[in-house]
Structure 1
Amino acid sequence: MWRALASNALTILIVGLFLMGGVVLWGQSQYKSGGPLETAICLQVKPGSNMTRVSRNLEDQGAISSGLIFRLAADYADKSQQLKAGSFLVREGSSMEQIVDEITSSGASTCGTEIEYRIGVTRTQTRVRELDPATLDFVEVAAFELGEGEIPEVYDEKRGEADTRYRISLAEGVTSWQIVEALKSIELLTGDVAELPAEGMLAPDSYEVIPGADRNAVLEDMKEKQQLRINAAWEGRQEGLPLNSPEEMLILASIIEKETGLPAERGQVASVFVNRLNQGMKLQTDPTVIYGVTKGQGTLGRGLRRSELRRVTPWNTYVIDGLPPTPIANPGFASLEAAVSPDDTDFVFFVADGTGGHAFAETLQEHNRNVAKWREIEAERNSGN
């Protein structure tokens, strides 16, 4: 009898262990398999939250099939205590394992509100944007210029939220002075800038920052990125260019950047200046003359005067030979590449064509015809004002 009871108990235990093992395997499968979420969501994890609250939120939004499995697996992986506060993008079909990794790893928000400070050539604009999880596009909520007009309430509201992200974006062609002045006006940052960075040595790009970041540290990031771009562009340069150093490449790239905003034209504009340098012709480019007047401190805000075109400055390429002594702005990588990989042309002239682009010419006669056309366009526009 006792042997029969023992045998039955052993059988029940084995069956129980087998079933338990099956349950564990099923739970693991549920944890690692793709989830039921059909449209991406932005999951907000508030400070002081825990896995129980998070799992309930995910269940309510249809992102996970079992809050219990979610919590047990997170505990088993020793990740429950690593939960981070923030706003996290949960993509459609994300597994529970992927969601746990997302909310316990770096703690950097991947969706929600972003405040961007865009430093442009003529203004610095602040934009409050929300990421739409369904399209992964940012939707603008508010926009205003720093130091001008009333600040929208939503800006102060979002600045008070712990998971708001911040970004500083530099447009191509801004000067170092413009960048530093803009950074000074961003109250999010701290620290005084002791020295103006060298012209051309700050990379136009987008930089994520945190409240309290030091302005000098932000500038160092910009310098490091630009130096890497300079090195890469110089390493890949064409043979036989009239450029003797990375510094000369940077100067030429800054001129190209200020002469055209059309990507398709950069190679042609570069070819004009390279051809002029090779032929010993003066560069005769207005942006360098403007830099000689402003020293990069703001925009000129008017046309150049004849006296300014004749005035001798180190940057007046109507007067000096070759390149000016310094860059005239901070060029983007595309302009750096154009400077060392110009199009193969015989162009030595170009002038605006009225469409936002330029008309290029190989001879002075052809150029004069292009100039005449441009003056007709200007006259028509002025007569319509």
Structure 2
Amino acid sequence: MNLHEFQGKEILNSFGVEIQRGHVATTPQEAVSAAKKLTEETGTGWHVIKAQVHAGGRGKGGGVKLAKSIEEVERISGEIIGMNLITPQTSAEGKKVHQVLIAEDVYYPGENEPEEYYMSVLLNRANGKNMIMYSTEGGMDIETVAEETPHLIFTEEIDPAAGLLPFQARRVAFNLGLSGKAFKEMTKFVTALYKAYIASDASLFEINPVLKTSDDRVIAVDAKVSLDDNALFRHKDYEAMRDLREENAIEVEAKEVGLNYVDLDGNVGCMVNGAGLAMATMDLIKQAGGEPANFLDVGGTADAERVEAAFKLILKDPNVKAILVNIFGGIVRCDRVAQGIVDAYKNMGTINVPIIVRLQGTNADIAKELIDNSGLDVQSAIEFQEAADKVQAVLA
């Protein structure tokens, strides 16, 4: 589950990570009130207006701007709220901005020059250890840094059983070239950041930039946070932060009816039971010259109601030119699935795309007979290659 910047900062702050403070507003008038309140709390004279959407690169799309007066806060907030923000991480249509974060200006003048760093905490799946990735090149796309100057990216591998050790936090600060107060502040920052990552059951914390201010404070200016959906039962307060407006509408609907669905960009809809078979089916579609339009795992109870819900989800995508149903009847009987497909088809009326049904396993022969004798425009298959050939034929 992805969070907005202001939500991620709330979690960070609760674990002792110093953050760029701010308040959320949904209207220009609320933005003005938030700015005045923030000035009272922090003494900041300028305010940063940040669009709150689940996408990076907001500044490149005009979603992050500096306001030097209350009048500018109102004007800029009015321009950003309601806009379709297009960034390198959104679709061509962009994402509608429903709220902005009014944040304090932390780039104030002082004895030293402010410096920006990049830092993230995530799981290194290659070795089963957590990893802090960091760089002196903050405020930039880390992908660009990795491609052009990979020697400027450092990693600290952390054994989950031992946790982050003090010398590792100090090594991060040392590799960033810090000393004195800034060194101590960065050590505290890294320690608190890792604590937040573990305690919140996150899959990613990305802070870009981490800022060393002109008076050597170390703060999180941004926060990209993804939480593990499977652990949300332990964090009801975090689960309440979910913003369904930022998620794919079809995926949200699928979750409500208990289906595992991921929207893709192809032209062949997939209805499969089991994640492994679903991946193999997507490979099959590619080999047949098509592109999978979705990942859809109906699970082990593929009855008529569930199959009908799956068909409706698939058909919401206007790019779907054919549907491949690929079911292995191990726990579930193939004839029961076949009857569910027939009943669902009849309940829905006319389906204007070809449907290929491949059922293999328990009672597969009975299932094929049910499909073939249904009188519906549904093609049956037994073997994988047979299903692939039929997909290829309907796409030709």
- What is the TM-score with the length of structure 1 in the denominator? 0.30
Structure with greater strand share of residues: 2
Structure number, greater radius of gyration: 1
